[in-house]
A and B are shown apart, each in its own frame.
Chain A
């Protein structure tokens, strides 16, 4: 490629066109037909290099599908050992999770309940706050305030999760213990609260996007009827962008279920079938961390338990993510 871009290949293209012309000369005497043919040729013919590049790019795009497939394959491949020994039904309905004991019992319910409890606390904090911030930013705040506050909220999402874990264990828990003396050192409440604050930026930024995509004329219709900003926000904007807000909520829930370090640090490592937020619990993710920290040899049953737990976690988040994807697409298409 010397001179300016594309010189070489254009020369080649010209030559090809000339050859084609001379060949097809007697077929098409009509000059108009000839020029149509040239245009067709230009738009369909690709040089080898062009094709090669397209294939390389396609390969890179397909690579991402490869990741998903290999996640599923590896999870099932390594988890197979576990399901050979433990009945799937027993795994999903058992109430005791003690895989490291002498008489191990493999009921995943305590981990499910632990995850749901922490997620529930996180979500019940993050959803209202996230929604209020989103409504405020999209309907009330001036342009300048929004331009400052949005990047700051994005910065919050950039704080490493292990730092949030530090906050939960060494700041929030001691603080809560002053208010609730019977709170144990490891508990579900404090990581739940911290995680709630952590996922506020996700919820607020996606909801805000959905709300600002509601067209102005719909809002103006509401204002023309004499509605206040609050009435417009609650009765017009929120319903109109409902699928987007729902997508934001679901992404928030999915983040909370998959979050690892905060619960591994502050929720304790005790599988506990309880809904009491003051007691220590163990989540899916915390269990995986617990096993990984110890020296569990490859190929043992303990080793394959983390993959069995991983399968449950992966499919829960997969379901939530796909649901949220379609909801988000729905609002994007509508406006």
Chain B
């Protein structure tokens, strides 16, 4: 009996050490991979790399059209997805009655969050590119990624609204506020931090997403920039850029990986470093934001 107890105590200690080892093993694998990436990519990361177009010669190729494309696509994505996502989140938390219909909405959103991203690409290929005739354009790319990150924004909004205690709403009603006034002046401001966190995470996801854009035909060789939105002549603003062909950073990187020449692999490592730096930075900001909100707000 005594030995049995001793044995289970040993097992306990062994597992404690083992768990710690596994945690650090995963982290060190990732650290090794990232180290390898940075070592192979860093030499190519010069100002010229950011300011030149893709080229047949790896030494002259750059990511100018890719990062400009990424920026524009992300802009469209955020403009489309954020208002709809936040409104949907508010409806589901504040307005929705509990019945079969909202139940379906909930299952649907949980499922959308798990639909493989390439399926969104197929949707966009059929709907935006051919049915609505937007072509393989920046607008199509932005809308596709907008659909993709919508569930992420809805879920983040809901979670952060759910954290607001019921007392706050009741206090607002007691002062004579209507439902919308309560939402507008209390619920939205108090959940702003959480919503922002969700938006940042969603945008960073869209930024790194490759598969749906490959499916809708984001080209990999773009040696020009989209039309400038600001024009020197009269209406001064042009929306022609929405319908220009584009490429984005991850697609450009994918293109370089799939080539056999070693030089292009170095380029793709350099593009990966840029990609990783930006998306890790965005996520770190989001995590920090969430940490601060948890610290600061004690209901």
| Residues of A participating in the B interface, judged by any CB pair closer than 8 Å | 5-6, 9-10, 46-47, 49-50, 53-54, 56-58, 60-65, 67-68, 70-71, 74-75, 77-78, 129, 132-133, 135-137, 140-141, 149, 151-156, 158-163, 165-167, 169-171, 197, 200, 226, 228-231, 233, 251, 254-255, 257-261, 264-265, 285, 288-289, 292-293, 298, 306-307, 310, 313-314, 317-318, 320-322, 324-325
Indicate the member of A133, A162, A322 with the most B CB atoms within 10 Å: A162
Q: Is B74 an interface residue (CB 8 A)?
A: no
Q: How far does the alpha carbon of A303 sit from the alpha carbon of B6 in the complex, in Å?
A: 66
| Residues of B participating in the A interface, judged by any CB pair closer than 8 Å | 5, 8-9, 11-12, 15-16, 18-20, 22-23, 26-27, 29-30, 33, 36-37, 83-85, 87-88, 90-92, 95-96, 104-105, 107-112, 114-123, 125-127, 130-131, 147, 150-151, 154, 176-181, 184-185, 201, 204-205, 207-211, 214-217, 250, 253-254, 257-258, 265, 268-269, 272, 275-276, 279-280, 282-284, 287, 291
Are the C-beta atoms of A133 and B119 separated by less than 8 Å?
Answer: no
Q: How far does the alpha carbon of A288 sit from the alpha carbon of B204 in the complex, in Å?
A: 24
Beyond A136-B19, A257-B116, whether A161 also contacts B208 by CB under 8 A is yes
In the complex formed, the residue of A with least CB distance to B220 is A293
Beyond A5-B177, A306-B122, A310-B122, whether A163 also contacts B215 by CB under 8 A is no
B204 neighbours in A (Cβ, 8 Å): 158
Beyond A68-B112, A158-B204, whether A200 also contacts B26 by CB under 8 A is yes
Q: How would you classify the secondary structure of chain A's contact residues: helix, strand, loop or mixed?
A: helix
Are the C-beta atoms of A228 and B8 separated by less than 8 Å?
Answer: yes
B33 neighbours in A (Cβ, 8 Å): 167, 171
Are the C-beta atoms of B257 and A230 separated by less than 8 Å?
Answer: no
B9 neighbours in A (Cβ, 8 Å): 228
In the complex formed, the residue of A with least CB distance to B268 is A166
Are the C-beta atoms of B87 and A5 separated by less than 8 Å?
Answer: no
Closest 8 CB pairs of A and B: A258-B116, A160-B208, A136-B19, A60-B87, A57-B91, A260-B211, A74-B126, A228-B12
Q: How would you classify the secondary structure of chain B's contact residues: helix, strand, loop or mixed?
A: helix
In the complex formed, the residue of A with least CB distance to B204 is A158
Q: How far does the alpha carbon of A257 sit from the alpha carbon of B177 in the complex, in Å?
A: 49
B90 neighbours in A (Cβ, 8 Å): 57
Are the C-beta atoms of A57 and B210 separated by less than 8 Å?
Answer: no
Are the C-beta atoms of A156 and B30 separated by less than 8 Å?
Answer: yes
B257 neighbours in A (Cβ, 8 Å): 162, 165-166, 169-170, 265
**A289 contact from B184, B211, B253, Cβ within 8 A:** B211
A265 neighbours in B (Cβ, 8 Å): 254, 257-258
Q: How far does the alpha carbon of A233 sit from the alpha carbon of B175 in the complex, in Å?
A: 49
